[in-house]
């Protein structure tokens, strides 16, 4: 660090040069991300709440109230006005909080001599996001990985059998898988969990702000779209920074009610509140403010319109791919399209060399495209042309 500072103009110019190296959503080259542009109103809110810290909520009472209101709104969307939760750092922290809750319920059972498991045992679909691997590693969890059925949703029969064969502490279901956008049969999983008094967590980080807004015309007969608290689930991850047009990092974690908090709280003696449930300590306050504001600002109607536009573009991409001889893995369930390709990793890198950033699947050899709000028809046409070029080479 130099002794003397530099002028604001000089340093901002330097930063701008670095910023220019970044891709911009609006350029239509980011096809593999679950993040997108924020709404213009969001920029103003971030500025207003930039210095707030929900790690010390007694200092920021208004911001804390807004986080509560955001949770209440998400709760009402998920059929539970009594939900307790937080707007945290993305789906990762949200999922880690659910896993911590499962772990501490197991610990309580162990203390009472009610569990023989040496580690909390959790059934988790093989399509689960890698945040669950972080949780397994940090909390010494023991996973039973559930395979998929032909439609790429979790095999409930396997889950049912595993519950009969082992003492299970938690079940995870996914409403909108990262790779394909498929929706596990949460109703069935929830039934299995409730009948056996097992905790069930739903990862709807992506699907949570899509599924409730899907118009009937996009729904398929053989898919069960129910995933929320009306099924009796214990917790749900739902991320405003994915399909909710909020700034990174806005992840949502909701528990059925406040009684779950005791499994999360640690003692925080020197803060304005003496208990803290989130994994991060010092944490941004604008996530809650933006979530509340954007949901209020758009209303159900506004969000439905955005979701429908994404679905129309998804179906357009699907149709164009087929017309050009490509093979999508499934008919799109949400605004995600996976394209079968034996050389998917190589093709992904070649596309990148041409300035197109898709991602890849893990559960099937395929490229993966997320049709976020920043993806327009002309971007899709351009993508198809470049994909054709790459495949010709
Ligand atoms: N859960 C699902 C289903 C996801 O798709 C993702 C991210 O893509 C996450 C959790 C993790 O979210 P984040 O990257 O915001 O931590």
- Residue ranges of domains in the chain, CATH in brackets: 8-38+299-392 (3.90.1150.10), 42-296 (3.40.640.10)
Ligand 1 pocket test, pick from 87, 88, 127, 131 with the greatest ligand atom count within 8 Å of Cβ, gives 131
Q: What is the pLDDT of residues 253-291, one digit of tens each?
A: 999 999 999 999 999 988 888 899 999 999 999 999 999
Ligand 1 centroid vs 116 CA: distance in angstroms?
32
Atom of ligand 1 nearest to the CA of 207: 3
The torsion angles phi and psi of 309, rounded to 5 degrees, stand at -60, -45
288 Cβ closer than 6 Å to some ligand 1 atom: no
pLDDT of residue 201: 98
Q: How far apart are the first and last CA of the chain?
A: 49
Ligand 1 centroid vs 156 CA: distance in angstroms?
23
CA distances in angstroms from 124 to 6, 145, 158, 168, 173, listed in the order given: 52, 5, 11, 11, 7
Tokens 């709807």 belong to: 204
- Which helix (H) or strand (E) segment holds residue 4: the answer is none
Strand partners, 235: 201, 255
Q: What is the pLDDT of residues 203-259, one digit of tens each?
A: 999 999 999 999 999 999 999 999 999 999 999 999 999 999 999 999 999 999 999
User: In this structure, what DSSP letter does residue 343 have?
Assistant: T
Take residue 173 and report the two structure tokens written for it: 């279901």
One DSSP character per residue, 318-330 reads: HHHHHHTT--BSS
153 Cβ closer than 6 Å to some ligand 1 atom: no
Ligand 1 pocket test, pick from 90, 124, 235 with the greatest ligand atom count within 8 Å of Cβ, gives 90
Q: 88 in helix, strand or coil?
A: strand
The torsion angles phi and psi of 75, rounded to 5 degrees, stand at -60, -45
178 Cβ closer than 6 Å to some ligand 1 atom: yes
Band of the pLDDT at 393, cuts 50, 70, 90?
A: confident
- How far is 220 from 226, CA to CA, in rounded Å? 13
- How far is 100 from 89, CA to CA, in rounded Å? 15
- Please name the residue ranges forming H helices in the chain: 8-19, 40-49, 61-77, 90-111, 131-139, 156-165, 186-195, 286-323, 344-353, 377-392
Band of the pLDDT at 10, cuts 50, 70, 90?
A: very high
Residue 86 · residue 67 · CB < 8 Å: yes
Residue 333 has pLDDT above 90, yes or no: yes
Q: What is the pLDDT of residues 83-119, one digit of tens each?
A: 999 999 999 999 999 999 999 999 999 999 999 999 9
212 Cβ closer than 6 Å to some ligand 1 atom: no
CB atoms within 10 A of CB 331: 9
- Which helix (H) or strand (E) segment holds residue 119: the answer is none
Ligand 1 pocket test, pick from 182, 202, 206 with the greatest ligand atom count within 8 Å of Cβ, gives 206
206 Cβ closer than 6 Å to some ligand 1 atom: yes
CA distances in angstroms from 184 to 132, 162, 177, 188, listed in the order given: 16, 17, 8, 9
187 Ramachandran zone, left/alpha/beta (phi>0; psi -120 to 50): alpha
Ligand 1 centroid vs 92 CA: distance in angstroms?
6
Ligand 1 pocket test, pick from 92, 98, 204, 244 with the greatest ligand atom count within 8 Å of Cβ, gives 92
246 Cβ closer than 6 Å to some ligand 1 atom: no
Displacement of CA 142 from its chain's centroid (Å): 22
pTM metric for this prediction: 0.98
Ligand 1 centroid vs 205 CA: distance in angstroms?
6
Asked if ipTM goes beyond 0.90, one says yes
- How far is 280 from 284, CA to CA, in rounded Å? 10
- How far is 207 from 253, CA to CA, in rounded Å? 14
90 Cβ closer than 6 Å to some ligand 1 atom: yes
């Amino acid at each position: 660090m130099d002794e003397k500072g530099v002028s604001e103009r000089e340093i901002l110019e330097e930063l701008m040069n670095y910023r220019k190296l970044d891709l911009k959503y609006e350029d239509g080259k980011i096809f593999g991300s679950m993040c997108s542009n924020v709404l213009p109103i969001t920029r103003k809110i971030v500025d207003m709440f930039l210095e707030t810290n929900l790690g010390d909520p007694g200092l920021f009472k208004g911001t804390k109230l807004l986080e509560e209101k955001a949770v209440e709104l998400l709760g009402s969307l998920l059929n539970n006005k009594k939900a307790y939760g937080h707007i945290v750092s993305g789906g990762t922290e949200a999922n880690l909080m659910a896993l911590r809750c499962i772990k501490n319920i197991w610990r309580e059972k162990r203390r009472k001599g009610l569990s023989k498991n040496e580690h909390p045992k959790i059934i988790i679909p093989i399509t689960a996001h890698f945040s669950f691997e972080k949780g397994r590693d940090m909390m010494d969890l023991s996973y039973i990985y559930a395979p998929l059925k032909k439609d790429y949703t979790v095999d409930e029969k396997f889950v049912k059998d595993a519950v009969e064969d082992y003492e299970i502490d938690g079940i995870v279901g996914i409403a909108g898988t990262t790779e394909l956008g498929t929706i596990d049969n949460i109703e069935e999983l929830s039934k299995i969990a409730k009948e056996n008094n097992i905790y069930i967590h739903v990862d709807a980080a992506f699907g949570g702000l899509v599924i409730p807004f899907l118009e009937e015309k996009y729904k398929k007969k053989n898919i069960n779209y129910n995933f929320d608290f009306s099924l009796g689930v214990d917790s749900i991850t739902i991320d405003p920074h994915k399909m909710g047009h909020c700034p990174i990092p806005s992840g949502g974690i909701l528990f059925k009610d406040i009684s779950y908090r005791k499994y999360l709280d640690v003692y925080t003696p020197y803060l304005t509140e003496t208990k803290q449930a989130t994994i991060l300590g010092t944490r941004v306050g604008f996530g809650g403010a933006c979530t509340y504001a954007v949901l209020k600002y758009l209303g159900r109607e506004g969000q439905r319109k955005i979701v429908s536009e994404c679905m129309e573009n998804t179906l357009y991409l699907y149709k164009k791919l087929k017309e050009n001889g490509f093979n999508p893995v499934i008919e799109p369930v949400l605004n995600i399209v996976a394209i079968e390709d034996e050389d998917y990793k190589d093709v992904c890198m070649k596309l990148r060399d041409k300035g197109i950033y898709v991602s890849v699947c893990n559960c099937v050899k395929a490229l993966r495209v997320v049709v976020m709000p920043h993806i327009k028809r002309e971007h899709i046409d351009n993508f198809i042309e470049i994909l054709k070029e790459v495949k010709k080479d």
